[in-house]
Structures are given as structure tokens and as C-alpha cells.
């Protein structure tokens, strides 16, 4: 079609002026559009497609990588837009660099939902799903513009989910949204700083001129929490937070300052309150010699005259205190009737309790309260049973047991032996210990990463398994099959590896003696040649990819190979007949 065009390839098309379709099944259309290799397409003016399955569309564009596209216009014929990246698309205009680039995905035959990456700007290897690169002497920008920018307009960027992102509105300005936390990496954060000023701490807040520097921490509800059970407790070593107060935590959640409507300001620390080079002043009506005393059940303290309240009475310099009927030795805050902060030395001790006997031992509950109990760790011998107990161990036939149950002799079990272990153990013997596995014997190493042998008896689910680390390498199952390798393979015998054998007998469901039947006609040699060029393999024979993905049926493949040999024999016989006919014709010509 047109003038001065050449379509040299098989089933190729050239049209326009000076266009060439050199490769088989190629197309060159336009002005000097050259499709140089098989299955290439060049459409436009001065375009060149130099790789298989490639497309060059536009003006002054060129593609030199297989399965790729280039669309647009270069600057001129010596400054062309060229795509040399396989399985990609490049779009650009009036430039040698692309404006838009789409890369190949990393998908496989078993994972076809993968997608590629998009680059905007002069970038042919985008490093993210969307990679934008500015030109030289240009700032990188992304502009989200509403159709009309008024009080109802909002422009948003969402990250990860619709709950994370940044929004801008004409009313509120810039808003950051997060479903969880706002994390700032290794840098510092500044509020109110000048553009050229850097924050001097992790959080730097600077007030404006004639403004008081302040931080306002506001709870969702500011009340005393009496209607909903909210509250604030500040005790040594614990700060209980609620939704009805405001908190400033320092260091960790055990140090800080809290505020509550009905409690005022609360300071909390897990160690000490230290006031360096200063004083702590509480109240206005204290007198010399006054002491702080709690005046109610919620911790309210006030100054009182020590001689009037008569609550703390130190005894000389012996560090013994009396406080509301309790005596403290070494502590001025006794918690029991007698509280000793230190070691006690006594030459006698008596703690009355009804029903005690000789040999009882002293123990305590979780709160430290002591009482007498029978000695469960002493030796007890049954009458003629020879059974002993020591420190939680039981011995039968031995008075020094070294395990929880230590039997010196044989064991007869009339029923099952059941195990209940929470971690992997060297040996497990289970006899109907659950309704899942039934009877089983497991032999294994000291962790779940070593080999093991497992025997299961569960009717049709019974099996013997051999494991290497955490992989099953062989199993013999109740379905009369032996599995080597993948236990989920449906074959009667599956071997994930090499097999060496002196003799393998394979049966095939189909044989091809019908090839030699009088009415059998193989395809012509011309059709066979065209099929091979198109598919790169013989008819009926699986492709390389099919063999990689699914393997081959040895019996079926041998039958197909025999069929090809028989067809080849027919071709040879036909060629022999043609050769004999040619010889006969030549002899007739010679005898004339």
C-alpha cells in the first residue's frame, strides 16, 4: 500500500511512504515507519520498532525492548523518544525524556494479580507505585485542586486507609488524620517558630509577640466522674488515668502531673520529689512545730499541732514509733499492730492456733499472713505400700524420687496413658487423649525444628509420618498410598526428587497403531513447518512451560513420541515414493 514500501516478512504489512515491515507478522504504517523484527508494530512518522512484540506509535519515537510501547513525539529525528526497557510503556511529547512511564509487574503464572509501577517525569525505574521526579531546576509538586475553592471545599490525600491522611479546607486550613498515632522520626517538632528557626528540643513551643506561652490539655469530659465511675488516683508507683482528667506524663506513666475537677492538681512519682535550691510551701496557716496530718478518708492533708493530735510519738533516739494503736520499729508508718523494718532476733516464738500437731510447719498466704499447716514435704510411708513423697515428687519402690513420678520396677497399664504438655517434647505417647488424633506415638528431637516420626491410628486417617525439621518428607497412609515429599499431591506415589531404577514399567491408556491405518492422513509437511514456526514444538507434544508447571505423563508422552515416529515413517515412505517416481521419469527421459 502506498509508495516505496517493503513488506519482506511472512504475513507482514507495509503502508504509506518509505515504510518497511521486515519481521514476520509485523506492521509498518505511515511515513518511514519501520517494523524491524517479528511481531513488531511501527505506526506514524519516522518511527522504529526494533524488538519483538513491540509498538512504536507517534513521531520520532523508537522502541528497542521486547513487549514494550512508546507513544508520543520526540523533538526531531536526531533527538528521539526511545524506550529500551522490556515490558513497559513510555509516553512523552517534544522531548527525549518520558512524561509518563509504566513498568512491568513482577507477577508469575501462579500470582497474576501483581501490578507494575508508574513514574512521572524522567524516570524509567520507578521505586514506588507512583514515583514523581521533577525536572532540573524545578521543584517537585503535587497539586490537588477543587473545582471551586470555597468554604465547602476540601482537598484530601489518604494514606493506607481512609482514616489516615491530610486534608485542606478554606475554613480549617491543614488537618492531619490518623486512626492510631502520629510518629515523628528522629527529628524535632516546633510550633510557632520562624521559617529559618530550628526547634531546640524534641518539642519546642514558641509564643507569638505579646502572647503567653501555654499548653492546654483538655479531656473529653470535664467533671468529677461521679455519675460514670471515673476518677484519678496518684499514688507512689502508680498513676491511674481516667477520661475525666488531664495529664502530663514525664519519663513514663509513673511520673507526671494530673488535674481533676474535684481533686485539683495531683503530682505523682515512683521515687522522690526533689526541689533543687528551693523550698516547698504548703498553705498559709502553719505554725512552727506543726505536722501534716490526713484529716479525712480521701487523703486531704493539713497542718496540725503535733502536741494536740498526739499521733506520732518517737521514743528517744531508739527509732520506735507509735501510730494510732500500731507500733513501728524502724518505720514511722506501721501497717500492723507490730511492724518491724529489719531483722528480728528471738530466743523463743509462739503462735497459738487450735488443732495443730507436732511436725506442722509455718506458711503464709498471698498477703503474708502466717499460719500452721501439716508438713506436706515430710516422708510418709504407706502401710506395706512402699510409697514415698518428697518436695512434690512421688516415689514408688524408691524413697529418693528424682522426677514427679519415679517408679522403681515395672508398670502395668490397663487403660490409656495420657499426656498434657504445652510445648514440644522429645517423646509423646498418646492413647485416645483427645478426640482429634486418637492413638499416636511421636518420636522427636528437643525442638520443633528437628526430625520426628509420628504414628497415628485413626481409621481411614491413620498414617505413619517421617519429618525433617518442620517438613514432612514421607508418609504411609491408610488410603494405601505412599507419599514422598508433598503430602497433598494426589498421586499414588509422589517423589520430590530423583529416582534411580533398573526397570520401570509404565502402562499407557492409548497407543497409536491407527497411524498405519489406510485412512490415516498426517498433516502435510508444509502445515507441519508452519506449526513449528508458530509454536516452537511438534503438534500434540506439550510446551516447555506446560512441562515445567505440570510435569509429564511418562506413558502418555512415550505413546505420543511413538506416534511422531510412525508419522515420520509415513513421511519417509511418501518421500521414497516421490523419489522413485522422479527416478523413473529421469530414466524415461534418458532412454528417449
Local structure of residue 403 (DSSP, 8 states): S
Q: For residues 238 and 469, which has the higher predicted lDDT (pLDDT)? A: 469
Q: Are 430 and 439 in contact (CB under 8 A)?
A: yes
- What is the predicted pLDDT for the residue at 179? 87
pLDDT tens, residue by residue, 310-329: 444 454 556 777 777 788 88
Q: What band does 236 get if pLDDT is binned at 50, 70 and 90? A: very low
Residue 375 pLDDT grade (very low, low, confident, very high; cuts 50, 70, 90) = low
Predicted confidence at residue 489, as pLDDT, reads 62
Per-residue pLDDT averaged across 158-165, rounded?
A: 87
Q: Are strands 81-83 and 471-477 parallel, antiparallel or unpaired?
A: unpaired
Distance CA 17, CA 14 (A): 9
What are the angstrom distances between the C-alpha of 537 and each of 68, 510, 548, 564? 26, 21, 15, 12
- DSSP-assigned beta bridge partners for residue 514: none
CATH fold, domain 6-132, is Alkaline Protease, subunit P, domain 1 (2.150.10)
Tally of CB atoms within 10 A around 367: 5
How does residue 525 score in pLDDT terms, banded at 50, 70 and 90?
confident
Contact, 51 vs 64, CB < 8 A? yes
DSSP-assigned letter for residue 111: B
pLDDT of residue 566: 87
% of the chain at pLDDT higher than 70: 75
What is the band of 429 on the pLDDT scale with cuts at 50, 70, 90? low
Residue 44: the pLDDT is: 96
Asked if residue 428 has pLDDT above 60, the reply is yes
The answer to whether 406 and 394 are in contact (CB under 8 A) is yes
d(CA 332, CA 291): 14
Say whether 150 sits in a helix, a strand or coil.
coil
| φ/ψ of residue 420, rounded to 5 | -140, 90
Q: Given this model, what pLDDT does residue 193 score?
A: 86
pLDDT in tens, 90-124: 999 999 999 999 999 988 888 888 899 999 999 99
Mind listing the pLDDT tens digit for each residue in 37-60? Answer: 999 999 999 999 999 999 999 999
* Confidence label for 289 from pLDDT (cuts 50, 70 and 90): low
CA distance 404 to 395: 8
- What is residue 412's predicted lDDT score, i.e. its pLDDT? 84
Domain ranges in the chain are: 6-132, 156-181, 190-280, 290-340, 349-412, 414-495, 513-591
| Whole-number Å distance between alpha carbons of 529 and 539 | 11
pLDDT at 284: 62
Angle at 338 between CA 336 and CA 344, to 5 degrees: 125
Q: Do residues 39 and 25 touch, judged by C-beta distance below 8 A?
A: yes
- Say yes or no to pLDDT of 86 above 80: yes
Per the CB < 8 A criterion, the answer to whether 22 and 6 are in contact is: yes
Strands 238-240 and 256-260: unpaired
pLDDT category, 32, cuts 50, 70, 90? very high
Closest by Cα among 377, 370, 372 to 356:
372
Q: Are strands 189-191 and 203-205 parallel, antiparallel or unpaired?
A: parallel
Highest mean pLDDT among 260-264, 275-279, 392-396, 519-523: 519-523
Q: Give the mean pLDDT of 15-20.
A: 95
> Please, are residues 49 and 40 in contact by the beta-carbon 8 Å criterion?
yes
Kindly report which listed range (60-64, 373-377, 444-448) carries the lowest average pLDDT score: 444-448
| Predicted pLDDT of residue 440 | 58
Question: Among candidates 292, 211, 202, which has minimal Cα distance to 250?
Answer: 202
Q: Give the three-class secondary structure for 494.
A: strand
Phi and psi torsions of 176, nearest 5°: -100, 135
Dump strand ranges (E) for 409-470. Answer: 427-430, 439-444, 452-457, 463-468
pLDDT for the residue numbered 233: 45
Give the model's confidence band at 235: pLDDT under 50 very low, under 70 low, under 90 confident, else very high: very low
Largest CA distance in the chain: 158
pLDDT band at 209 (very low <50, low <70, confident <90, very high): confident
| 240 neighbors 248 (Cβ within 8 angstroms) | no
Judged against a pLDDT cut of 50, whether residue 232 lies above it is answered with: no
* CA 443 centroid distance within chain: 32
**Higher local confidence (pLDDT), 19 or 2:** 19
Q: What span, in angstroms and rounded, lies between the C-alpha atoms of 123 and 121?
A: 6
Res 231 pLDDT > 50 = no
Average pLDDT of the segment spanning 475-483? 79
pLDDT at 79: 96
DSSP of 18-57, one letter per residue? S-EE-STT-EEEEEEEEE-STT-EEEEEEEEE-STT-EEE
C-alpha cell at 569: 515413517
How far is residue 190 from each of residues 198, 248, 304, 553, measured CA to CA in Å?
Answer: 7, 18, 47, 71
Q: In the predicted model, what is the mean pLDDT of the chain?
A: 79
Amino acid at each position: 500500500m502506498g509508495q516505496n514500501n517493503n513488506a519482506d516478512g511472512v504475513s507482514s504489512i507495509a503502508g504509506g511512504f518509505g515504510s518497511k515491515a521486515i519481521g514476520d507478522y509485523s506492521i509498518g504504517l505511515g511515513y518511514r515507519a519501520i517494523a524491524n523484527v517479528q511481531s513488531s508494530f511501527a505506526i506514524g512518522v519516522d518511527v522504529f520498532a526494533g524488538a519483538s512484540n513491540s509498538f512504536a506509535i507517534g513521531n520520532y519515537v523508537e522502541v528497542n525492548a521486547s513487549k514494550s510501547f512508546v507513544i508520543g513525539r520526540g523533538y526531531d529525528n536526531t533527538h528521539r523518544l526511545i524506550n529500551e526497557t522490556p515490558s513497559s510503556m513510555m509516553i512523552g511529547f517534544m522531548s527525549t525524556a518520558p512524561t509518563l512511564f509504566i513498568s512491568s509487574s513482577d507477577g508469575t503464572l501462579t500470582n497474576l494479580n501483581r501490578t507494575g509501577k508508574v513514574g512521572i517525569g524522567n524516570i524509567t525505574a520507578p521505586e514506588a507505585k507512583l514515583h514523581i521526579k521533577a525536572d532540573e531546576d524545578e521543584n517537585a509538586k503535587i497539586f490537588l485542586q477543587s473545582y471551586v475553592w470555597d468554604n465547602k471545599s476540601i482537598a484530601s490525600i489518604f494514606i493506607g486507609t481512609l482514616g489516615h491522611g491530610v486534608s485542606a479546607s478554606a475554613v480549617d486550613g491543614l488537618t492531619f488524620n490518623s486512626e492510631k498515632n502520629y510518629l515523628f522520626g528522629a527529628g524535632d517538632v516546633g510550633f510557632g517558630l520562624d521559617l529559618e528557626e530550628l526547634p531546640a528540643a524534641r518539642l519546642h513551643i514558641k509564643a507569638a509577640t505579646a502572647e503567653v506561652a501555654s499548653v492546654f490539655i483538655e479531656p473529653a469530659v470535664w467533671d468529677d466522674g461521679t455519675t460514670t465511675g471515673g476518677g484519678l488516683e496518684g499514688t507512689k508507683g502508680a498513676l491511674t488515668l481516667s477520661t475525666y482528667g488531664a495529664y502530663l506524663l514525664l519519663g513514663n506513666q509513673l511520673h507526671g502531673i494530673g488535674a481533676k475537677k474535684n481533686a485539683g492538681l495531683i503530682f505523682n512519682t515512683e521515687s522522690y520529689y526533689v526541689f533543687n535550691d528551693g523550698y516547698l510551701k504548703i498553705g498559709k496557716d502553719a505554725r512552727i512545730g506543726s505536722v501534716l496530718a490526713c484529716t479525712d478518708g480521701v487523703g486531704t492533708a493539713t497542718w496540725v499541732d503535733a502536741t494536740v493530735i498526739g499521733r506520732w510519738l518517737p521514743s528517744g533516739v531508739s527509732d520506735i514509733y507509735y501510730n494510732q494503736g500500731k507500733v513501728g520499729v524502724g518505720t514511722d508508718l506501721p501497717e500492723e499492730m507490730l511492724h518491724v523494718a529489719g531483722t528480728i532476733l528471738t530466743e523463743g516464738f509462739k503462735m497459738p492456733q487450735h488443732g495443730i500437731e507436732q511436725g506442722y510447719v509455718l506458711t503464709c498466704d498471698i498477703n503474708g499472713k502466717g499460719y500452721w499447716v501439716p508438713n506436706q514435704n515430710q516422708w510418709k510411708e504407706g502401710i506395706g505400700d512402699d510409697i514415698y513423697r518428697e518436695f512434690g515428687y512421688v516415689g514408688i519402690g524408691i524413697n529418693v524420687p528424682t522426677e514427679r513420678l519415679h517408679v522403681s520396677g515395672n508398670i502395668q497399664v490397663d487403660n490409656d496413658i495420657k499426656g498434657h504438655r504445652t510445648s514440644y517434647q522429645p517423646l509423646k505417647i498418646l492413647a485416645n487423649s483427645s478426640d482429634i488424633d486418637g492413638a499416636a506415638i511421636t518420636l522427636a528431637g528437643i525442638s520443633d525444628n528437628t526430625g520426628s516420626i509420628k504414628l497415628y491410628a485413626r481409621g481411614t486417617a491413620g498414617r505413619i509420618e517421617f519429618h525433617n525439621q518442620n517438613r514432612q518428607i514421607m508418609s504411609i497412609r491408610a488410603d494405601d498410598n505412599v507419599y514422598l515429599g508433598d503430602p497433598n499431591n494426589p498421586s499414588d506415589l509422589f517423589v520430590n526428587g530423583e529416582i534411580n531404577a533398573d526397570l520401570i514399567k509404565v502402562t499407557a491408556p492409548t497407543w497409536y497403531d491407527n497411524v498405519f491405518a489406510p485412512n490415516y492422513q498426517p498433516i502435510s509437511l508444509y502445515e507441519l513447518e508452519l506449526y513449528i514456526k508458530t509454536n516452537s514444538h511438534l503438534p500434540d507434544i506439550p510446551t516447555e512451560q506446560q512441562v515445567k508447571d505440570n510435569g509429564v505423563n511418562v506413558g502418555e508422552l512415550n505413546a505420543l513420541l511413538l506416534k511422531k515416529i510412525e508419522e515420520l515413517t509415513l513421511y519417509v515412505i511418501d518421500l521414497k515414493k516421490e523419489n522413485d517416481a522422479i527416478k523413473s521419469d529421469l530414466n524415461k527421459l534418458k532412454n528417449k
